Structure 1
Amino acid sequence: MVAAQPVGGSVADSITSTGPSPVLPPGPHLPAFVQGLGFVTRRRQTLAAFARRYGPAFTLRIPLFGKVVVIADPTMAKQLFTTPTDQVANVRPNLGRILGDGSMFALEGTDHRRRRKLLTPPLHGRRIKQYEAVVAEEFDAEARTWRMGTEFATLEPMMRVTLNVILRTVFGADGRELDTLRDIIPPLVTVGSRLASTPDIPFSLGRLDPRRSFVTRRQIYVDTLAALITKAREDPRLHERDDILALMLQSTYDDGSSMTDAEIGDELLTLLVAGHETTATTLAWAIERLQRNPDVLRRLVDEADEGGSELRMATIMEIQRSRPVIDLAGRHVVTDLLELGQYRIPQGYNVLVAISLLHDDSRQFADPERFDPDRFVGSQPGQAWLPFGGGTRRCIGAAFAHMEMDVVLRSMLRDFVIEPTANNGEAWHSRGVAYSPRRGGRVTLRRRTTAV
């Protein structure tokens, strides 16, 4: 282990203070350009190499996030995620710059807590139980288009399933509005994901500028949502609807105030971006993993036929551990010095939790390279398992995402035979924010003759 070092050299700016001096983890003395190139082009491999060299905490300068401390220690991660909001804010920049000022990503402190409290009920408990039938219907509709005995990539079909689920459960959309959103959301999410993971360019690239495409599609989204809001407010049975848009229009904060239409639009777009692509990508990874682990697959089929779910839920957790779609979560230091473990991190730094490094750590998960759902059977994940982040900014849609994945996998196991393969596992592919199987989670299916 390399000892902590005071701020200085090529890793951090010198800081003059009458109080305690900053103490940062060690880090490479490579030029910032070289560090950034590795981070942008081969992020997972670069972070793993630095962790092997410097241990579970190191300091970098990288594009977009600037001065950064990366941590891969569960105790420090928990400490970071439970630090009061007057000391740390959401990582900067974040998806709020893409999704809008009304997005939960952009809110801080009291505003964030109020919004989270308002939106939690529709995404938990009995409410999401009602949405299971919608997920099953959308999966069945998509699955009817699949050609049996022919290998195909599952990522795009899963994207269509999760998109349609969100459009129905979140927007209550139908007819022309549903068709419009179905057309514009996939490219909007794709472009937005790439913009969110790259620094802003101080000049326009004209027709080639992805920001131009994003702004155009976002305006279509805004106009479509305005029509949906107007239609909802005119609906005499609005109080009977269970879609999240209807619930937002009827919900109020503790002081009696309501969300503005612009805030509703930003928040609904947030639910789309944060939940649509990530859930579909995890499902594609699930198919990629299961066909390479036939013993687990066989046990899952037997369990599904018997009406069980324990192994299936453990499998979902193991997929999220071994193939995390989002590999970083973080905070921005707003206090003068943040005490984190043995370090004192100065104001202006981002602290990034390297989720993939934690999930691959043999000290946290025995034999981490082995796909082993049994590690989660009969036990809950520990504090090193962080596919949804942690603390007050843990993904608000985590329960909804698990429900979707459970219903889709149950349907696949009951209705189809997933052909095992001896091919090597698919490599990781960065889609901007999310990591997907490079070949899209390709699989060959046969329909079961005696589906349960």
Structure 2
Amino acid sequence: MSEATVAEVPAPSPRAVRLPPALPAPMALQGIPFAFARRQLVAWLSRRYGTAFTLNVPMFGRTVIVADPQLAKQLFMAPTEDVGNIQPNLSRILGSGSVFALDGTEHRRRRKLLTPPFHGKSIKNYEKVFEEETLRESATWPEGRPFETLEPMMRITLNAILRAVFGAEGEKLDELRRIIPPWVTLGSRLATIPSPPRTFGRWTPWGRIAEYRRRYDEVIDRLIDEVRADPRFDERDDVLALLLRSAYEDGTEMTRQEIADELLTLLAAGHETTASTMGWVFERISRHPQVLARLVDEAATDDNTYRQATILEVQRHRTVIDFAGRHVYAPTFQLGEWVIPRGYSIVVAIARIHETSDDFVDPQRFDPERFVGTRPPTFSHLPFGGGTRRCVGAVFANVEMDIVLRTVLRHFDIETTTAPAEKVHSRGVAFTPKAGGQVTLRRRPQPLA
């Protein structure tokens, strides 16, 4: 075929746009409930419009919400040239060098560097860390009266990820323990609202975020220097050392700022969501005596089949992260019967799928048995998102939750309760038990195993 002939071939015509039904209300009236009562809004609109509808909200603009596993699969499996990272995203809080900020080829290259520390043998090495941190934190837990598990779980998961990332204890890690929790709490709340044009001073929320960042960067800069100067640098297996030794296929390395942003991503994402899920674990099992009894019996063995099923069911029944999104880059993107134009965001309503999917019989019932001996359907069970942007630390988190729960069950007797279920509370990004996942414990005279 000649060049002239090639030039005469017309480009394919863009498909006619066909959007799901839209909520007929001004952006502000849509944005307020989306920011502060997102779950209730999505549930109400799903009942009114079905599994797909259109919103127009601050930050994300015109957005299609989907609550159907097949539409989620189509979105998550689509080419990254057609749909990419949602804009804006958590890189506003975590930094432009975070994996959350990257797209396409750059995103794939970064994930390839991040994957080794969070899979296979590396995870096995962390199991002792998870147990040690649980025992250390639980040494001062009160007995015989209700106490909130959420904050202790936050400390356990933060200490565990700090040890995994830096491979050591020390004064500088103490500084990170002081910085990270309030930073993550504040950042989670600010992540769902538009950013101001400037911080307006150190006493404003965005000013405090900037101050936390300044202190964090100072600590990380010193830690990088110390790790590089370690005579055993080439033998270290902590995440920081692995990142400092790693390189892309073309031989280039991550910059210090990129490493700092990526470590912050791991520290933030690696402790809040896991701790929030654990808060729900204790809230759920204390209200389901039969589930708790089976977990206790299993904890005296080396098996973890029912414990894993329970964690999977908690992740479904009390979803901590309720949506994952993409941005349309192609002229149009076909999503089921809908045709979405360039510039739109598409958000998968994860919690809504978990609550309504036909893949789960009686989805409102808490029932770990549904996952005994079987894995949940990939696109109906999405606690870590899906596709190329699925959480890189998913395996790390699930093993951590398994070991933490086993350790608590072996060392404590958990009292059951007939109290009403704790309400769902939004921390901004994560959803937690409103009363902090309260339980009443008594220490066992002898551990179960």
Q: In which range does the TM-score fall when normalised by the shorter chain?
A: over 0.9
CA distance in 1, matches of 2:59, 2:90: 12
Q: 1:79 aligns with which of 57, 70, 74?
A: 74
- The reply on whether 1:449 has 2:445 as its aligned counterpart is yes
**Match of residue 189 from structure 2:** 194
**Match of residue 396 from structure 1:** 392
**Match of residue 168 from structure 1:** 163
CA distance in 1, matches of 2:357, 2:166: 42
**Any residues of structure 2 matched to 1:225-304 within 5 Å, and which?**
225-304=220-299
CA distance in 2, matches of 1:158, 1:71: 32
Q: What SS does structure 2 have at the residue aligned with 1:105?
A: helix
Q: What SS does structure 1 have at the residue aligned with 2:196?
A: coil
Whether contact under 8 Å (1:64, 1:199) holds in the other structure is yes
CA distance in 2, matches of 1:173, 1:198: 36
CA distance in 2, matches of 1:270, 1:295: 38
Deviation for aligned residue 1:20: 2.5
Q: 1:436 aligns with which of 427, 432, 439?
A: 432
User: CA offsets per residue over residues 307-346 of structure 1, 9 Å max, x none?
Assistant: 2100000100000000110000010011110111111101
Deviation for aligned residue 1:226: 0.6
CA distance in 2, matches of 1:241, 1:207: 38
Q: More displaced, 33-42 or 20-29?
A: 33-42
Whether contact under 8 Å (1:193, 1:432) holds in the other structure is yes
Deviation for aligned residue 1:64: 2.0
Whether contact under 8 Å (1:61, 1:67) holds in the other structure is yes
**Match of residue 34 from structure 1:** 29
CA distance in 2, matches of 1:81, 1:73: 12
Deviation for aligned residue 1:257: 1.6
**Match of residue 64 from structure 2:** 69
CA distance in 1, matches of 2:203, 2:24: 36
**Match of residue 342 from structure 1:** 337
Q: What SS does structure 2 have at the residue aligned with 1:412?
A: helix
Deviation for aligned residue 1:279: 0.3
CA distance in 1, matches of 2:423, 2:129: 32
Whether contact under 8 Å (2:76, 2:387) holds in the other structure is yes
Q: Percent identity at matched positions? A: 56
CA distance in 2, matches of 1:46, 1:18: 36
Q: What SS does structure 2 have at the residue aligned with 1:64?
A: coil
Whether contact under 8 Å (2:149, 2:438) holds in the other structure is yes
CA distance in 1, matches of 2:60, 2:113: 30
**Match of residue 217 from structure 2:** 222
**Any residues of structure 2 matched to 1:356-435 within 5 Å, and which?**
356-382=351-377, 383-435=379-431
Q: 1:139 aligns with which of 104, 120, 134?
A: 134
CA distance in 1, matches of 2:202, 2:180: 20
Whether contact under 8 Å (1:361, 1:368) holds in the other structure is yes
Q: What SS does structure 2 have at the residue aligned with 1:317?
A: helix
User: CA offsets per residue over residues 280-310 of structure 1, 9 Å max, x none?
Assistant: 0000000000000010000010011122100
- The reply on whether 1:309 has 2:337 as its aligned counterpart is no
- Letter matched to residue 283 of structure 2: E
Q: What SS does structure 1 have at the residue aligned with 2:296?
A: helix
Whether contact under 8 Å (2:415, 2:439) holds in the other structure is yes
User: CA offsets per residue over residues 207-237 of structure 1, 9 Å max, x none?
Assistant: 5421110111111110100100000010010
CA distance in 2, matches of 1:79, 1:435: 26
CA distance in 1, matches of 2:359, 2:24: 29
- Letter matched to residue 43 of structure 1: R
- Letter matched to residue 153 of structure 1: E
**Match of residue 6 from structure 2:** none
CA distance in 2, matches of 1:30, 1:226: 48
- The reply on whether 1:56 has 2:44 as its aligned counterpart is no
CA distance in 2, matches of 1:88, 1:244: 30
Specify whether residues 342 and 179 from structure 1 end up closer, same or farther in structure 2 by C-alpha distance, changes over 3 A only. Answer: same
**Match of residue 98 from structure 1:** 93
In structure 1, stretches of 5+ residues that fail to align are 1-16
Q: More displaced, 98-107 or 30-39?
A: 30-39
* Alignment length (residue pairs): 436
CA distance in 1, matches of 2:200, 2:288: 46
TM-score (norm: length of structure 1): 0.94
- Letter matched to residue 386 of structure 1: L
Deviation for aligned residue 1:38: 1.9
CA distance in 2, matches of 1:28, 1:179: 48
Deviation for aligned residue 1:172: 2.6
Deviation for aligned residue 1:63: 2.2
CA distance in 2, matches of 1:355, 1:19: 30
User: RMSD of aligned C-alpha atoms?
Assistant: 1.3
CA distance in 2, matches of 1:230, 1:163: 22
CA distance in 2, matches of 1:213, 1:411: 37
CA distance in 2, matches of 1:148, 1:239: 46
Q: More displaced, 272-281 or 203-212?
A: 203-212
User: CA offsets per residue over residues 406-445 of structure 1, 9 Å max, x none?
Assistant: 0000001111111101100000111010000001101110
Specify whether residues 103 and 204 from structure 1 end up closer, same or farther in structure 2 by C-alpha distance, changes over 3 A only. Answer: closer
Deviation for aligned residue 1:275: 1.5
CA distance in 1, matches of 2:348, 2:33: 18
Deviation for aligned residue 1:201: 2.2
In structure 2, stretches of 5+ residues that fail to align are 1-11
TM-score (norm: length of structure 2): 0.95
CA distance in 2, matches of 1:175, 1:374: 43
Q: 2:205 aligns with which of 196, 210, 219?
A: 210
CA distance in 1, matches of 2:226, 2:13: 60
Deviation for aligned residue 1:18: 6.4
Q: What SS does structure 1 have at the residue aligned with 2:271?
A: helix
Whether contact under 8 Å (2:184, 2:268) holds in the other structure is yes
